[in-house]
Structure 1
Amino acid sequence: MSHTPLTSRRNVLFGAAALSAGTFLTACTSNEAKDDPAAQEVGQGADDKPGKPVTIGFAGPQADHGWLNAINDNARSRAGKYSDVTLEITEGSNDPAAQDGQIQTLIDKKVDVLVILPADGKAMTQAGLKAMQAGIPVINLDRVFDSQQAYRTWIGGDNYGMGLNAGRYIGEKLKGKSGAKVIELAGIDSLELTRQRTQGFDDALKNYPNIKKVGRQAAEFTVESGQRKMTDLLQAVPEFDAFWNHDDDQGDGALQAIKQAGREDFLMVGGAGSRNAFDNIKADNTVLKATVLYPPTMAASAIDLARALGQGKGVGGMAEFEIPAFVTLYSAVVDKENVDRYLPTGFK
């Protein structure tokens, strides 16, 4: 977890997001998980027992954001754990036309399975259709294509769930306070994902009649925009008890603005799961007390699913012979109580 060039960065996270979902996704039905300490970084562990060789093509957008860079790193790292997997990874582009050309190259190479995180889900739907029509199954990662015919399986995060769980966390913290006030630092308002996150947050707050949302600004998933928009919020709403920030990268900027203003009189909840956010939560020396996950480890699970698909296997822990058509990951809340568990999954 952009708009079109920065694009729908996380369009449409592992429950107890990054880790427990790994238990579900990484083992194929005929195999057992290997006790591999290195594999604990993004899941319970992938089965390294060699099977049918699988060539996986991976096409993602340009890594212009910490989360997107971690997507690529997770894909490479997971593929490297399998002796039977060859990964063909493209350079990545935020230009749909350029990414379409990269996907065509992977189709021409006759890869066994394609994992695609599209620069723009709607614009790249035809690329997914071309691959499927060529007999290459597609794992659609995160930003969803417009047609279910363009992919075999979709895996991604729950933007509505991010807002819902952020709202619930704040609601529980403030439920004993009469006349509590909250604000929101959103992402790019033109994105459906931003609207979903805000809707989830607003819906959660409906369960806490003592809480009123009194301010909102939209930033751009960058440190600079986070600092600028948080400064505006602090000036516009001088008194509030908590706020939710949609993105941990822009949250770094928000924390700078808060520090410059000398404010310590509210709690902050972030979004996505960056290493900086985890470190701040663990240190417990800022207003940031929790973050709601949208972790890039979903790329590692996409590789697991692609490998299972290429080998004709299902998913461990399920009775079916086939992998699921949709995998929506859970948006866990990470606070001081559980942050050590998630530290290895934090993106930089």
Structure 2
Amino acid sequence: MTSNVGRRRFLLTGSLVGAGVLATACTSNSEETGNTNQQSVSTGGDNDKPGTKVTIGFSAPAADHGWIAAIAKNAEAQAKQYSDVDFKPVEPTNDINQQISAVESLIAQKVGALVILPNDGQQLNQVARKAMDAGIPVVNLDRVFPDKLSYRTWVGGDNYGMGVAAGHYIGKKLKDKGVAKPVILEIQGIATLPLTQDRSKGFADALKTYGFEVTAQQDAQFTVESGNEVAGNLLQAHKKIDALWNHDDDQGVGVLAAIKQANRNEFFMVGGAGSANAMREIKNGGVLEATVTYSPSMASSAIKLARLIAQGKGMADLVEKQVPQSITLASETITKDNVDQYLPLGFES
């Protein structure tokens, strides 16, 4: 991800499939009535049936990155599934002040709910709080607002879990190979973002269980160009490498290019997010052996949740009458063994 980007990925057609688990949680095709004990509760009915007309405002960074492009496409496609949703996206931008102004325009229009993926949660916290104070529920997507009063529900990926998944893959493989003091490199996205810090912590914590630690770490801003430059510098600085974790498959295009240019293949690499090109690299064999997911299907889920909240509904498969305050998607590890299963869901970098 980048300050211009948000974090990680799947194609439009796959996004709705990728959101399947959560979508199932949001809808129910039949009504069940508990009659075995007093704790059994009748669940909600079909939440996908047309209900009260609602307007959902949407704001996200500019789609100059594969994952962010998938986020915008998924949100729009999901909104189109509902005849009772009027979808109002504002112009995507990587300028903080412009995004604040765009959100303020949606507040002025008195939309029924807002879905916001902020360029920076800290800097957009105040305008999100303004929406909540005006009675407009905010579904905070991916980059979290620090003030819980600034959003009704947060939905996003498991950044710490991404790091843990990558750390376990690398740690186990090196341990099985009997490597005593491995050289492990880490290429982050944007170092100042909490999501990046969570990923790095999860990675370090997982490696620690194998007695390993990160040898060198550098951020690459979630761009292909920076990925290429940073990887080139790290390759020059380390004549022997055992493993590399790159946080983001979009910037990974540049990382892989640098590796190929340097003609280095003594190590293996793990990616992050689940892009289609990363999966193709995994399928073909080579340095990139795995990637850990961070699905942009979360945008589809955010629209579903915003609609339910605006209509005063809960998630039909849950006992509770309201949508939960926080929903975290799981991070999965894609390898050559299961890549064919995930490839149709990959977003293009």
User: Measured at CA, do residues 208 and 224 of structure 1 come closer, stay the same or move farther in structure 2, by a change above 3 Å?
Assistant: same
Aligned amino acid, residue 210 of structure 2: Y
Deviation digits for residues 186-216 of structure 1 (CA, Å, limit 9, x no counterpart): 222232322221111111111112x453332
SS in 2 for 1:124: helix
Compare 174-183 and 198-207 and name the one that shifted more.
174-183
**Which residue of structure 1 aligns with residue 43 of structure 2?**
none
| Correspondences of 1:199-348 after superposition (within 5 Å) | 199-209=201-211, 211-284=212-285, 286-348=286-348
Does residue 191 of structure 1 match 2:189? Answer: no
Deviation digits for residues 264-309 of structure 1 (CA, Å, limit 9, x no counterpart): 222110011111111211222x211111111211111101111111
Give 4+ residue runs of structure 1 displaced > 6 Å after superposition. Answer: none
Kept in 1: contact 2:163–2:199 (CA 8 A) = yes
**Which residue of structure 1 aligns with residue 37 of structure 2?**
none
User: Measured at CA, do residues 18 and 218 of structure 1 come closer, stay the same or move farther in structure 2, by a change above 3 Å?
Assistant: farther
Alpha-carbon distance, 1:225 to partner: 1.3
> CA–CA distance in 1 between the matches of 2:24 and 2:58?
18
SS in 1 for 2:305: helix
Aligned amino acid, residue 169 of structure 2: Y
TM-score where L is the length of structure 1: 0.87
Compare 83-92 and 101-110 and name the one that shifted more.
101-110
User: Measured at CA, do residues 292 and 110 of structure 1 come closer, stay the same or move farther in structure 2, by a change above 3 Å?
Assistant: same
| Correspondences of 1:169-184 after superposition (within 5 Å) | 169-176=169-176, 177-179=178-180, 180-184=182-186
Alpha-carbon distance, 1:227 to partner: 1.4
**Which residue of structure 2 aligns with residue 93 of structure 1?**
93
> CA–CA distance in 1 between the matches of 2:112 and 2:102?
16
Alpha-carbon distance, 1:324 to partner: 0.4
**Which residue of structure 1 aligns with residue 20 of structure 2?**
22
Kept in 2: contact 1:139–1:152 (CA 8 A) = yes
Alpha-carbon distance, 1:58 to partner: 0.7
User: Measured at CA, do residues 106 and 255 of structure 1 come closer, stay the same or move farther in structure 2, by a change above 3 Å?
Assistant: same
Kept in 1: contact 2:160–2:199 (CA 8 A) = yes
User: Measured at CA, do residues 87 and 222 of structure 1 come closer, stay the same or move farther in structure 2, by a change above 3 Å?
Assistant: same
Alpha-carbon distance, 1:26 to partner: 4.7
> CA–CA distance in 1 between the matches of 2:325 and 2:93?
26
Kept in 2: contact 1:163–1:197 (CA 8 A) = yes
> CA–CA distance in 2 between the matches of 1:29 and 1:256?
44
Kept in 1: contact 2:27–2:47 (CA 8 A) = no
> CA–CA distance in 2 between the matches of 1:288 and 1:268?
5
> CA–CA distance in 2 between the matches of 1:289 and 1:309?
41
Compare 267-276 and 92-101 and name the one that shifted more.
92-101
**Which residue of structure 2 aligns with residue 141 of structure 1?**
141
> CA–CA distance in 1 between the matches of 2:322 and 2:79?
20
Q: Which runs of 5+ in 2 are unaligned?
A: 31-45
**Which residue of structure 1 aligns with residue 34 of structure 2?**
none
Compare 213-222 and 130-139 and name the one that shifted more.
213-222
Aligned amino acid, residue 63 of structure 1: A
Matched length: 328
SS in 2 for 1:57: strand
User: Measured at CA, do residues 183 and 30 of structure 1 come closer, stay the same or move farther in structure 2, by a change above 3 Å?
Assistant: closer
> CA–CA distance in 2 between the matches of 1:185 and 1:165?
15
> CA–CA distance in 1 between the matches of 2:16 and 2:290?
16
> CA–CA distance in 2 between the matches of 1:341 and 1:310?
35
Q: Which runs of 5+ in 1 are unaligned?
A: 33-45
Kept in 2: contact 1:292–1:334 (CA 8 A) = yes
| Correspondences of 1:39-188 after superposition (within 5 Å) | 48-176=48-176, 177-179=178-180, 180-188=182-190
Kept in 1: contact 2:16–2:74 (CA 8 A) = no
TM-score where L is the length of structure 2: 0.86
